[in-house]
Chain A
């Protein structure tokens, strides 16, 4: 480790000594040494990724891999086809699992954004009594692990049991409220001609929430008595417990970096706090909304312990639960080629969006450093 520690530093300075001459070349042995180091690091990073890709292409459907090869003989996409059809022993398809994860992740992310952004605005722009304590409470919650609240959440949600009809009515009312809230955001701004992209974004999120709730209301659960704990809705509520404080904190950090000159100018022009929020702050915070929504979505997409503890009906199971069933000694007779294909299918959507949002995500993560 020590030898690695000093070499790059020395070289860095060696280069910088001559950095006034632009486009300076490294000595050949330096270039070779650094290339070797970089290639070695690259190999360690890529090894697991290549292993899993290679295994997912293995057509032989053998239970376990017995040798290492980059491209297995007769590579094919059979494992993907099998895994899309029926990934685990349970009679559910990949699409059904993905749909459950999508509903959970999408619902939690949208809800956290919608409620979180206004609270973040209040923390970022207003000075009010108790602000410091409220902020410490919000940040303190994000430090506590979600697993550590599983006992009370399970007990409380387990106690909420209503009939299926009553549930449908409650969901329909909630859906209409959310949709009405969305219209309330969009319509007045649209009629006044002040609607901008983020007005539609936020209003659209609310409308989408309403729609999801209405669709859920229209498809009542099979059982007569609905146990909130044993449903994706219950898992979603338990997730909100941690996802909302996280969203507030993340968005607040970003709002703090938006310069206030624009708002000051708007105040002079006689804009109200609402106008400033919808017409100045929201449009500028679109990247933060995207990043926070994405991070919340990823958390929901791969949520494991709450679903594992709460859900008992196979038609509610999620991708993460299936992945656990395919790993290591729990895999039973499921071939590892299917495990590999399944992992790749789970990772791809979030990996692609991550790469697209990378610039903003990294900016947000390093924000704390700038402030310290």
Chain B
């Protein structure tokens, strides 16, 4: 490390130093490079996060009976408007309201809020999607890696399309494709069936599979998100596949291993080091995937497909309960931080790079 670091290399010789000056000597070099980013992040990233924690213990945004609001501190002439009041501390009430689904609180949100259902659905949404992404990604990568396959380059070029288009466009296009009256999916099903069929993808409340409490809109969004997500996994898997030495397969087949045995005991184990970090990235990304849910089902029907981030947005955008939204966001962080730490542990992302 010392030899690779210019500052350390230059200061390599010298008199013995006190610990404090040692710290300063180590900081002096990188400080100039870090300072602009550190200042910006302290102001626009970390300060808002601290402010968020404070907000989560207040009634920020709540309009009381007498019509007093907390948000707009500035009226004409820069003075507080007549109906302004500072936000008041409410202790842990926002958190207990959310975690216990307090009836009066749920009623104020329109009656469909259920924290544990949202969290459960969000986790199921994440793992079901990433499961499909990874397995389809690997299978299609293996298929395209078959030697002697015609048109491999053309297929690779086509299969990358879902990655190329912006998420928001994909979400809105799939929303319209699943439209119950004019959508392409219902028209396609009608064409195959030979008679007009109108599936109410986003409005049907009864679960299509009895016993599994997932509405039809979940399956519609699952299809859209599988379409969106597998090409990334496939590209990661292709990169890893091409680094597996062919000799391993040759040796295995000499020993009499069947294709299936080779897939399970050579291909899959050697793909693991590449696929595990990619799956971790996929898990965090899918957990926070705002666009598909918000633009396709909007959380419906009856809030059954709401995930954490769409609910957080709704708390601000529709309900204007800033304090509650802040508490809700702190809870999102509480769910994500363990996932992040596990990810960081597995991928060793923040460990020192020493080459």
| A contact residues around B267 at 8 Å (CB) | 9, 12
Indicate whether B263 reaches chain A with its CB closer than 8 angstroms.
yes
Q: A8-B143, A148-B333 are in contact. List 20 more A-B contacts (CB 8 A).
A: A12-B142, A49-B161, A116-B37, A118-B36, A126-B7, A127-B8, A148-B309, A150-B312, A151-B312, A151-B322, A267-B6, A273-B29, A304-B290, A309-B313, A309-B317, A324-B172, A339-B176, A358-B160, A369-B275, A371-B349
Indicate whether A81 reaches chain B with its CB closer than 8 angstroms.
no
Please determine whether A155 and B147 come into contact, CB atoms closer than 8 angstroms: no
| A contact residues around B336 at 8 Å (CB) | 143-145
Tell whether A126 pairs with B143 under 8 Å between CB atoms, given A144-B333, A156-B48, A241-B44.
no
Indicate whether B112 reaches chain A with its CB closer than 8 angstroms.
no
Tell whether A13 pairs with B249 under 8 Å between CB atoms, given A5-B139, A126-B30, A145-B290.
yes
| A contact residues around B60 at 8 Å (CB) | 151, 155
| A contact residues around B353 at 8 Å (CB) | 124, 256
Tell whether A149 pairs with B52 under 8 Å between CB atoms, given A13-B249, A15-B148.
yes
| B contact residues around A48 at 8 Å (CB) | 170, 173-174, 177, 184, 227
- The binding surface of chain B is classed by DSSP as helix
- Bound together, the chains give a CA A276 to CA B277 distance in angstroms of 32
Interface residues of B in 119-162 (CB under 8 A from A): 135, 139-140, 142-151, 155, 158-162
| A contact residues around B143 at 8 Å (CB) | 8, 34, 37-38
| B contact residues around A245 at 8 Å (CB) | 41, 45
Interface residues of B in 268-307 (CB under 8 A from A): 273-278, 281, 284, 288, 290-291, 294-295
Instruction: Among B150, B164, B167, B277, point to the contact of A372 (Cβ < 8 A).
Output: B277
Instruction: Among A13, A44, A135, point to the contact of B253 (Cβ < 8 A).
Output: A13
Interface residues of B in 300-355 (CB under 8 A from A): 308-310, 312-313, 315-317, 322-323, 325-326, 329, 332-333, 336-337, 339-340, 343-344, 346-350, 352-353, 355
Indicate whether B17 reaches chain A with its CB closer than 8 angstroms.
no
* Complex interface: stretch among A167-175, A207-215, A348-356: A348-356
Indicate whether A191 reaches chain B with its CB closer than 8 angstroms.
no
* Complex interface: stretch among A16-24, A88-96, A193-201, A284-292: A16-24
| B contact residues around A145 at 8 Å (CB) | 288, 290, 308-309, 312, 332, 336
Total A-B Cβ pairs within 8 A? 376
Indicate whether A136 reaches chain B with its CB closer than 8 angstroms.
yes
Indicate whether B188 reaches chain A with its CB closer than 8 angstroms.
yes
Interface residues of A in 238-263 (CB under 8 A from B): 238, 240-242, 244-245, 248, 256, 259-260, 263
Please determine whether B147 and A150 come into contact, CB atoms closer than 8 angstroms: no
| A contact residues around B188 at 8 Å (CB) | 68
Q: Mark B160-187, 1 if CB is under 8 A from A, else 0.
A: 1111111111101111110101101001
| A contact residues around B316 at 8 Å (CB) | 150-151, 154, 309
Please determine whether B179 and A328 come into contact, CB atoms closer than 8 angstroms: yes
Q: Mark A281-313, 1 if CB is under 8 A from B, else 0.
A: 000000000000000001001101100110000
Indicate whether A104 reaches chain B with its CB closer than 8 angstroms.
no
Q: Mark A197-238, 1 if CB is under 8 A from B, else 0.
A: 000000000000000000000000000010000000000011
* Complex interface: stretch among A71-79, A182-190, A360-368: A360-368
- Minimal beta-carbon separation of B309 from chain A (angstroms): 4
Please determine whether A51 and B33 come into contact, CB atoms closer than 8 angstroms: no
Please determine whether A273 and B6 come into contact, CB atoms closer than 8 angstroms: yes
Please determine whether B44 and A240 come into contact, CB atoms closer than 8 angstroms: yes
- Bound together, the chains give a CA A116 to CA B253 distance in angstroms of 50
Please determine whether A119 and B259 come into contact, CB atoms closer than 8 angstroms: no
Instruction: Among A6, A302, A309, point to the contact of B166 (Cβ < 8 A).
Output: A302
Please determine whether A272 and B40 come into contact, CB atoms closer than 8 angstroms: no
Please determine whether A115 and B37 come into contact, CB atoms closer than 8 angstroms: yes
Tell whether A147 pairs with B312 under 8 Å between CB atoms, given A15-B147, A354-B164.
yes
- Bound together, the chains give a CA A8 to CA B37 distance in angstroms of 48
Please determine whether B250 and A20 come into contact, CB atoms closer than 8 angstroms: yes
Most A-side CB within 10 Å, residue of B78, B175, B310, B350: B350
| A contact residues around B37 at 8 Å (CB) | 115-116, 118-119, 244, 248
- CB nearest to A272 among chain B residues: B6
Number of interface residues of B (CB under 8 A): 139
Indicate whether B197 reaches chain A with its CB closer than 8 angstroms.
no
- CB nearest to B259 among chain A residues: A10
Indicate whether A46 reaches chain B with its CB closer than 8 angstroms.
yes
- Bound together, the chains give a CA A67 to CA B246 distance in angstroms of 49
| A contact residues around B340 at 8 Å (CB) | 139-140, 143
Indicate whether B73 reaches chain A with its CB closer than 8 angstroms.
yes
Indicate whether B26 reaches chain A with its CB closer than 8 angstroms.
yes
Instruction: Among A13, A126, A256, A346, point to the contact of B263 (Cβ < 8 A).
Output: A13
Please determine whether B169 and A343 come into contact, CB atoms closer than 8 angstroms: yes
Please determine whether B312 and A320 come into contact, CB atoms closer than 8 angstroms: no
| B contact residues around A238 at 8 Å (CB) | 44
| A contact residues around B148 at 8 Å (CB) | 15, 23-26, 31
Instruction: Among A19, A37, A242, point to the contact of B246 (Cβ < 8 A).
Output: A19
| B contact residues around A358 at 8 Å (CB) | 160
- Bound together, the chains give a CA A371 to CA B164 distance in angstroms of 25
Please determine whether A45 and B159 come into contact, CB atoms closer than 8 angstroms: yes
Indicate whether B1 reaches chain A with its CB closer than 8 angstroms.
yes
| A contact residues around B1 at 8 Å (CB) | 127
- Bound together, the chains give a CA A167 to CA B170 distance in angstroms of 38
Q: Mark A98-132, 1 if CB is under 8 A from B, else 0.
A: 00000000000000000110110110111111011
- Minimal beta-carbon separation of A356 from chain B (angstroms): 11
| B contact residues around A240 at 8 Å (CB) | 40, 44
- Minimal beta-carbon separation of B319 from chain A (angstroms): 11
Instruction: Among A51, A132, A147, point to the contact of B184 (Cβ < 8 A).
Output: A51
Please determine whether B169 and A45 come into contact, CB atoms closer than 8 angstroms: no
Please determine whether B262 and A13 come into contact, CB atoms closer than 8 angstroms: yes
Tell whether A9 pairs with B263 under 8 Å between CB atoms, given A147-B290, A371-B348.
yes
- CB nearest to B274 among chain A residues: A369
Indicate whether B72 reaches chain A with its CB closer than 8 angstroms.
yes
- CB nearest to B39 among chain A residues: A115
Please determine whether A34 and B146 come into contact, CB atoms closer than 8 angstroms: yes
